[in-house]
Structure 1
Amino acid sequence: MATEKILQKRRPHAIMISLHFQGHITPFVNLALKLASKGFSVTFVHHEFIHHMLSKSHEEFDLFSDARESGLDIRYTTISDDFPVEFDRFREREEYMEYILRDFPARVDEFVGKMIESDPSSASFLVADTLYSWPETIANKYDLVNVSFWTQPALVFSLDYHFELLKENGHFPCKDDIEEEIKYIPGIESINAMDLMPYLKEAEMDTIPPKIIINSFRGVKKADFILHNTVYELEPTTLSALNKNQPNYAIGPISFSQNHAKANPIRSHSFWPDSDCTEWLASKPPGSVLYVSFGSLVEASKEVIQEIAHGILLSGVYFIWAIRGGVTDAFPDGFEDKVKDKGHIVPWCNQIQVLSNPCVGGFLTHCGWNSIQESIWCHVPMICYPLSYDQFPNRKLLVDDWKIGINLSDGVSINRAGVSENVRKLMGASTSGGLRAEVRKMKDILRNAIENGGSSDVNFEQFVKDLKARLHAMD
């Protein structure tokens, strides 16, 4: 028993801190499970207000109870941001992200310092979100190995990583309406300026995201290891170019990794309670339902929602629309009455369960990276309407490069007639057959990558080996 305790104490120990957005938390939770399954101890640190949201949405909430029951060493704790619980951090994004950039690093410093003071063996490496500005400073101060985890495609990482190169060539800030091809970023053959993230453009230069990118990517260039929630075969040239600078490991899709299946990675950790759509879907023909969701973060304008709603009605297809928090006042007057049995509107749902249902034939998506991976995994083609952040280059990957989706609009305007036409196109047999064939190829790539001996499996094993070697060298 004494020997067992000594071995437990010597086990390499990770402190993990995700950014507070749903699209970041989900892969972080699954990376924690993956690391613990490889014998690491993990302390997973949630923002206190996120824990409060999750506890309200899910009865008997314990994020890692199944993992601990299966023998994994995952501790769970929270960190305060000193804002009152009722402060809406998502609606007041600019103010809150300014705090995250300016004041949150001191809170993390205090938290890590107290943790190590109470137990010097409680941490040996840090796994932090790439978009934080503080990991390099904290890791250096407390002698921790610095592991940066990027939750979006490598394409987006590379564009941010090379922001100084974009600046030298007049593309940061980029003029809002130019359509120049950018061909000088290492590992990216070409990307149109229209497909850059909005925070790289002139219109958003006075907002907080550009400041975050500049600060975080100056720091990440000094990280010891960089993990990517993508698959090497999907972005080989981009990842190969990045590897010339630092150790980068494509380990995705982390949320589907079979090596921690016993820890129940599909347990819901969404911010809102899930609605069960199974019974409604059971009454519909295979491949006949369009699933609509614009994610958990950015809201489309009322005008856009109304045109999309009218367009879906005109198309005549069955649909499930998950609208965040059940905020339906953006819909046209009487919309919910008009849809009758054609539509099923829910506040939130388990997206994987819906996408994996054989009745679902298409996904109208904002092009968030988690949603893209889930749709590919479930063999569902997409119709794309990006709203912000990484979603515009993600659209480029889906539609232009991988040919597994179509655009909802022409990119200039959105109107109900165009929406109806493109929804019919996505759901129609002539188009959907070709898209489904391409999605199947992508699905096979994702599934093969996480099998034993697949690229993501091999990359994760190499990361573990390299990390242990670095930790041993620091002893």
Structure 2
Amino acid sequence: MYNPQLILHFSALHHLHILSVCLSLSTERQKMENNHQKPHALMMAYPLQGHVIPSVHLAMKLASKGFIITFVNTQFVHHQITKSHHHNHGPEAEDIFVGARKSGLDIRYTTVSDGFPLGFDRSLHHDQFMEGLLHVMSAHVDELVGKLVASEPPVNCLIVDTFFVWSSMICDKYNLVNISFWTEPALVLTLYYHLDLLRINGHFGAPDNREDAINYVPGVRSIQRKDLASYLQANDSSTVVHRIIYKAFEQVKKADVIICNTVQELEPDTLSALQKKQPVYAIGPIFPTGFAKSPVATSLWSESDCNKWLNAKPNRSVLYISFGSYAHASKQDIWEIAYGLLLSEVSFIWVLRPDIVSSDESEPLPPGFRDQIKGKGLVVPWCCQIEVLSHSSIGGFLTHCGWNSILESIWCCIPMLCFPLLTDQFTNRKLVVDDWGFGVNLRDEESVAREEVARKIRRLMTGGSADELRKKVTEVRTALDNALGPSGSSEKNLNDLIDDLKVKIASNKQ
């Protein structure tokens, strides 16, 4: 039966439907346009624990400032992270940024092959692994970037670790803004940056390198050869790591921007000298919000919970010991440190990776040591370092001087006993002990003796010398605090960096 009201009703519904479709299309279009306006960065962490952590935190920092981030781990790193969080069979097992997205950050996640099968022991076959990073990995990255540039919204800048050797090739090919992320102090960056000067002056790469002080590097007052990164002290400068360094530092000079995980006030002269050559932004320390345990899994090993043990200890009475995620120590040094700990009679937590000496060596500690320390000491394979360092019972940190460890230690006002093993750690020690004065050096000679270990642990942990060191580290902590404040240098540099990137992205599109 003909019912004009019904027809009017349907007609109105039809119009409403068309209107809602148009609205949702325009919202969708608006969203796409907004996305096209947003910078979309492809970020890739160097496949070592100490580089993954600050890269993840940088991704979150930039996403909270309106970036779209596509974060890339190698399949091996992803496999290790998910394996170490084996209790987690939920969506986080496939995508470590699920939690970050729940808080509204636009971070996508994917993986890429490093050129080796998952079962390949990268620690045991270190040089072979490095050859792969040098020669093989770029083909896998190239394929991935090709897909992401063609996706919606397209990637328009690349933020990768300075040690990757292919950044300018990929950026030129896909017309991306080229951003180099340096995860160590500016002092180390500038020494590598001026390798040619070290070579010309005979401090590096010669059969008999000069041993006198180096005082010709822009922004560096004077530095001893023993304080250079281990690769710059080496007599053989033809190793695979050296070849990576040469290539990476040709590349960094082609970057549009360098981001540094340091603070302008901690390294003013070095950063000013670098900033004359290229746009360099010091935006450190790059920590998870509130210095709490990160909502994103970054650990390649299962973490032991040390809180219960620490809760039973008096304030500032425990020495925390960790030699990081990568470097190896000699069995003799590990034994001397172990006996030094017993002599010092200080309580301690020792994070001792199973492969600290090598993947082949199953027990690095002296016979009977684990029985002798009952109640006094705790040895664990891995832990959440931020959690342990911020516990009130920790009073000192015996460390390999990795840069993440130093920044975390400063943040928790913990003085350091410095035992560098590899790479930038020797230069970092110079900063901690000589320039900022909150560290004690444990490594004067090639090897270390138990009596010296015991004496220096006591100096770090007790009496007037400990108070003096704590006063110094608190001063440096204040500089970090100020830098991250609303009008601080790191916050200002971060905002300037974002403005600079938006301009560069816009001019790349034209």
With the shorter chain as reference, the TM-score category is over 0.9
Match of residue 450, structure 1, among 480, 484, 501: 484
Q: Does 1:35 align with 2:57?
A: no
CA distance in 2, matches of 1:387, 1:55: 28
Identity %: 49
For 1:14-413, list aligned pairs within 5 A. 14-58=41-85, 59-60=87-88, 61=92, 62-117=95-150, 119=151, 121-173=153-205, 179-256=211-288, 265=294, 267-325=296-354, 329-413=363-447
Comparing 210-219 and 52-61, the one that deviates more: 52-61
Measured at CA, do residues 267 and 12 of structure 1 come closer, stay the same or move farther in structure 2, by a change above 3 Å? closer
CA RMSD of aligned residues (A): 1.7
Alignment correspondent of 2:471 = 437
Task: Give, in angstroms, the shift of residue 120 of structure 1.
Answer: 6.2
CA distance in 2, matches of 1:158, 1:408: 26
CA distance in 1, matches of 2:412, 2:75: 33
Contact 1:53 1:271 in 2 (8 A): yes
Comparing 291-300 and 168-177, the one that deviates more: 168-177
Cα deviation code 1:241-283 (max 9, x no counterpart): 000000000000011556xx89x73644211111111111111
Letter in 2 for 1:279: K
CA distance in 2, matches of 1:416, 1:178: 32
Letter in 2 for 1:100: L
Letter in 1 for 2:242: P
Please state whether the residue corresponding to 2:328 is helix, strand or coil.
coil
Comparing 193-202 and 370-379, the one that deviates more: 193-202
Contact 2:416 2:460 in 1 (8 A): yes
Measured at CA, do residues 43 and 55 of structure 1 come closer, stay the same or move farther in structure 2, by a change above 3 Å? same
Comparing 180-189 and 89-98, the one that deviates more: 89-98
Comparing 243-252 and 103-112, the one that deviates more: 103-112
Q: Identify unmatched segments of 5+ residues in structure 2.
A: 1-26, 357-361
Comparing 385-394 and 173-182, the one that deviates more: 173-182
Task: Give, in angstroms, the shift of residue 439 of structure 1.
Answer: 0.4
Comparing 79-88 and 131-140, the one that deviates more: 79-88
Contact 1:310 1:416 in 2 (8 A): yes
Task: Give, in angstroms, the shift of residue 175 of structure 1.
Answer: 6.8
CA distance in 2, matches of 1:268, 1:255: 14
Alignment correspondent of 2:21 = none
Measured at CA, do residues 132 and 196 of structure 1 come closer, stay the same or move farther in structure 2, by a change above 3 Å? same
Alignment correspondent of 2:19 = none
Measured at CA, do residues 471 and 177 of structure 1 come closer, stay the same or move farther in structure 2, by a change above 3 Å? closer
CA distance in 2, matches of 1:103, 1:326: 26
CA distance in 2, matches of 1:266, 1:372: 22
Cα deviation code 1:202-225 (max 9, x no counterpart): 434232121111101111101000
Task: Give, in angstroms, the shift of residue 5 of structure 1.
Answer: 3.4
Highest CA radius of gyration, 1 or 2? 2
Measured at CA, do residues 406 and 36 of structure 1 come closer, stay the same or move farther in structure 2, by a change above 3 Å? same
Contact 2:225 2:233 in 1 (8 A): no
The total of aligned residue pairs comes to 471
Letter in 2 for 1:113: G
Alignment correspondent of 2:39 = 12
Measured at CA, do residues 455 and 428 of structure 1 come closer, stay the same or move farther in structure 2, by a change above 3 Å? same
Task: Give, in angstroms, the shift of residue 456 of structure 1.
Answer: 0.2
Task: Give, in angstroms, the shift of residue 470 of structure 1.
Answer: 1.1
CA distance in 2, matches of 1:40, 1:234: 28
Comparing 123-132 and 177-186, the one that deviates more: 177-186
Contact 1:175 1:201 in 2 (8 A): no
Task: Give, in angstroms, the shift of residue 473 of structure 1.
Answer: 1.6
Measured at CA, do residues 28 and 174 of structure 1 come closer, stay the same or move farther in structure 2, by a change above 3 Å? farther
Measured at CA, do residues 47 and 244 of structure 1 come closer, stay the same or move farther in structure 2, by a change above 3 Å? same
CA distance in 2, matches of 1:124, 1:40: 11
Letter in 2 for 1:21: L
Q: Identify unmatched segments of 5+ residues in structure 1.
A: none
Contact 1:326 1:347 in 2 (8 A): no
Please state whether the residue corresponding to 1:287 is helix, strand or coil.
coil
Alignment correspondent of 1:415 = 449
Contact 1:272 1:325 in 2 (8 A): no
Comparing 221-230 and 319-328, the one that deviates more: 319-328
CA distance in 2, matches of 1:464, 1:176: 46
Contact 2:226 2:233 in 1 (8 A): no
Contact 1:172 1:201 in 2 (8 A): yes
Task: Give, in angstroms, the shift of residue 46 of structure 1.
Answer: 0.5
- The alignment's TM-score, normalised by the length of structure 1, stands at 0.96
CA distance in 1, matches of 2:422, 2:157: 32
Measured at CA, do residues 453 and 287 of structure 1 come closer, stay the same or move farther in structure 2, by a change above 3 Å? same
Contact 1:125 1:144 in 2 (8 A): yes
Cα deviation code 1:327-368 (max 9, x no counterpart): 761100000001111100111111111111111100000000
Letter in 2 for 1:313: L
CA distance in 2, matches of 1:374, 1:136: 32
Task: Give, in angstroms, the shift of residue 91 of structure 1.
Answer: 2.3
Please state whether the residue corresponding to 1:220 is helix, strand or coil.
helix
Comparing 196-205 and 275-284, the one that deviates more: 196-205
- The alignment's TM-score, normalised by the length of structure 2, stands at 0.89
Task: Give, in angstroms, the shift of residue 302 of structure 1.
Answer: 0.7
Please state whether the residue corresponding to 1:23 is helix, strand or coil.
helix
Task: Give, in angstroms, the shift of residue 177 of structure 1.
Answer: 8.2
Contact 1:268 1:350 in 2 (8 A): no
Task: Give, in angstroms, the shift of residue 407 of structure 1.
Answer: 1.0
Contact 1:366 1:384 in 2 (8 A): yes
